[in-house]
Structure formats: structure tokens, C-alpha cells
Amino acid sequence: MLIDIKLPNIAGVNEVDVVDILVNIGDSIKFEQIIFVVEAQKASFDIPSPYNGIVKDIKVKIFDTVKINDIIIIIDSDEINLQSSLKTSSNILDVICDNKISKVYNNKFKSTKTKDYFLNDFKSYATPLIRRLSRKLNIDLFNIKGSGRKGRILKSDLDDYLNIKSRFINNNKKDNKSIKKENEFDKFGKTKFLAISDLQKNIANKLHKTWNTIPHVTQFDEIDITDLEVFRHSENKRLSFDKNFIKITPIIFLLKSIAKSLKKMPNFNSSLSNDGSFLILKEYINIGVAVNSSYGLFVPVICNVDKKNIIDLSVELSNLSNQVRSNKLRKVDCQGGSFTVSSLGKLGGIFFTPIINFPEVAILGISKILVKPVFVLNKIIPRTILPFSLSYDHRVINGVDAGEFMCLIDYFMSDIRRLII
């Protein structure tokens, strides 16, 4: 018996675009076999066959716009008992996404398999190509969180899923005997194993790639911030009476000084193309600030530093730091940086060699503020000194430019009135 299959109600939309037809006239199809792929509201949906049968006619073409309840295909099926259900007002099924129920009007479609198919697959945003690839690789898209725009699943997401799954399987194959074989130190005394978190592994892999890819050079200098500190302490005291007061730290003035310096020397605010043939100069100034926490090291990004005042920067950095320490930082908060600052704070040490945050070309590190005797106007007097280190990509920046950049930062930090010029 010939049966008209109509387009079901999908996600509450009135019409969809046909983006792929997966069967031909004369094909033998099975129940729940995917026969069409349609797109609505920038999301793709697979349309399964509600019957076993033979394709007799296809009523639509690729790129056609089809309305709900339009006939899309005619099949010849012996499943006569299903014909009556076809005459119901809602046709085959009524799919409602976003955690609602898939309503199915025939007992055959009330199977757990069918229900799970719609609940899971229709909530996954992916192109028809990705859906076909996922079926070929036997990957349930419901298990994957898309990294594309608005959560769309990309091919890289499938690759990452397979890599993680492969590592998980390989790790489970290791028994205590093989682990013990890897330990070459127990012959000298007792040892124990400490698992490395995925976050630590990701950081380690990125640092390893960066170190092997970028020819690092680091230069060191000191800034006299005596006058800056006098002003900063006075402002903190003045603002402390405000109930919403957030302490201004030295790094805030450093961020403004870096922003001014980057405008004068844009090569430091760039990225090198993959083939190394050109520089990508960024017209925005987004500075990442490394923040340590019990959950690991994160680099939240403050956008448009050059357009924000000292108070705004203090509030934003404080909020981002609190999010890091409470493990509430979003992935988007760590994206879009064009330059990075790393601070050892009060931990001690004078200089260090920070590793560039790829694909950026430079990073500035600051150490603990010191009070040192300095010869000024024939007198030795105590001055407040900030040691800082600049690592840069030598393919993009030479030593002279690095020295000039450090002098610019010193110029602005030693007299912050220059920041307003």
C-alpha cells in the first residue's frame, strides 16, 4: 500500500529547508532509517522513516522550502496497520525540542529507541556532513558539547571526542603491573603515584608546543615606581570610605602603561601567520592576566584596556580573579587576548623567564616589589623598585625593539601623569 509521509512538526517551526536527501526512488528503506536532512533556525535535523518499505516517489528537492505536513515522500509498505495513524491531525509525530517530550501517535513510534533518538539527536546542533560523519564513526552527538558558534558541533569536536575516548581506553588497559614497570625509582626507596589533572596536561602540552615553536628571548629591567606607590596608597585611602571600594593594585597601572606602549609599537600586539609570511596586527588591546588558584593557572582576558579607566580595570580584574578562585570562570573569559601579563606577586624572586602565551608574540612578567638604595642627585636614598621581565618571539621582535618597548613602560610607570597625554 502506498503511504504518504509528511514533514513532522520540528522544534515548533512552520517551515524548513531541505539540505540533503539520503534515498532514491526504488530504494528499500527500514524503520528509523534517516531519509532526509532539513534545516531550521540554523540547526540541522535528521528525518527518519516511520516505516519499512520501498521508495516510490520523492516530492521535494534539495534547497526546497517545505512546510509542516507537506508530503515529502511516498513509500510502498505492507504495514497497513500504520495507515490509520497517518490520518491523525498531527500526522506521524510531533517533535518538541529543548527538554520537552517527543509525542508519537503510533505504538510503534513510542519505542524507547525512537524517543531517545529525537530527544538526543535533535538537541545537537551540527551540519548534515557532521551528522553523517558521526553516524559513520558511531558517535552519539548528544555526548558532545559543540565549540562552534552557538554550540554548533564541528569536525574538531568529533576528533577531540575520539582522542579522549582512545586515551581513556588505553589508560584503562594499563594494570598495576605495567604501572610498576614504568617506575624506575622504587629500587632506591618508596615512591607513590600522583595523578596529573586534565587541566595540567593541557597546560603542559600547550607550553611544550609554544616552547618548541617560538624562539624565546627574555630581557630584564627595573622600574622606579616610588611616586606611583605614593599616589596609589593615597587614592586607596581616599576611596576606602566607599562601600563598593576595590583596592587599586600596581598591576592596574601596568596594564594602562602596556596599552599605551602597544599603541606606539603595534608589532608587540600581533600574531605571526601560520606560514610565517606576514604579521596579523590587532587593532584592539586585550590583555590577559595570569591568575593562580587551587584549580590551576588561568589567564582571564580584559578587553579594550586602552578604553577603560583605572577604577573600571580594578573592578574587572577583581571580578575575574574571584571567578578563577571560585572555579566559575567561563571559557569565553580566557579568549581573545593579544598580550599577557604574569605576576609573581609577593612570592619573591627578582626576575624570571615567562613563556609566551601562543599565538601572541610577547609576555611581560613582574616580580615582588623591592625597596632598594638608589643614587639620586648625589644622594643614596631608598626607592621602590618593580623588577620586570619581557619575553618575546625573536622571529617578530628584535632586541632593540624589545629594549625600546621596556623603556616605554618605564616612561609611563615612573610618572603616571604621562598616561593621560
Residues known to be catalytic: 394
Q: Is the dihedral of CA 124, 328, 324, 280 positive or negative?
A: positive
CA 322 to chain centre: 19
Q: List the one residue out of 365, 362, 366 whose CA is nearest residue 338.
A: 362
Rounded to the nearest 5°, which phi and psi values hold at 145? -95, 120
- C-alpha cell at position 186: 622504587
202 vs 208: CA distance, rounded Å: 10
Spatial CB neighbours of 408, under 8 Å, sequence gap ≥ 6: 257, 260, 261, 264, 265
Closest by CA position to 153, among listed 182, 120, 183, 116? 120
Which one-letter amino acid corresponds to residue 386? L
Name the region of 130 (left: φ>0; alpha: ψ -120 to 50; beta: rest). Answer: alpha
Cross-strand pairs, 390: 219, 364
Q: Cα(230)–Cα(221) distance, rounded to whole angstroms?
A: 21
What letter would DSSP give residue 233?
Answer: H
State which H helix or E strand residue 50 sits in: none
- Separation of alpha carbons 57 and 26, rounded Å: 8
- Characterize 19-58 residue by residue with b for buried, 16 or more Cβ atoms within 10 angstroms of its Cβ, and e for exposed: bbbbbeeeeebebbebbbbbbeeebbbbbbbbbbbebeeb
Contact 235, 260 (CB under 8 A): no
Tell me the backbone φ, ψ of residue 101, rounded to 5 degrees.
-95, 145
Whole-angstrom distance, CA of residue 52 vs CA of residue 1: 12
Residues 6+ away with beta carbon under 8 Å from 43 = 11, 125
How far apart, in whole angstroms, are the C-alpha atoms of residue 363 and residue 342? 7
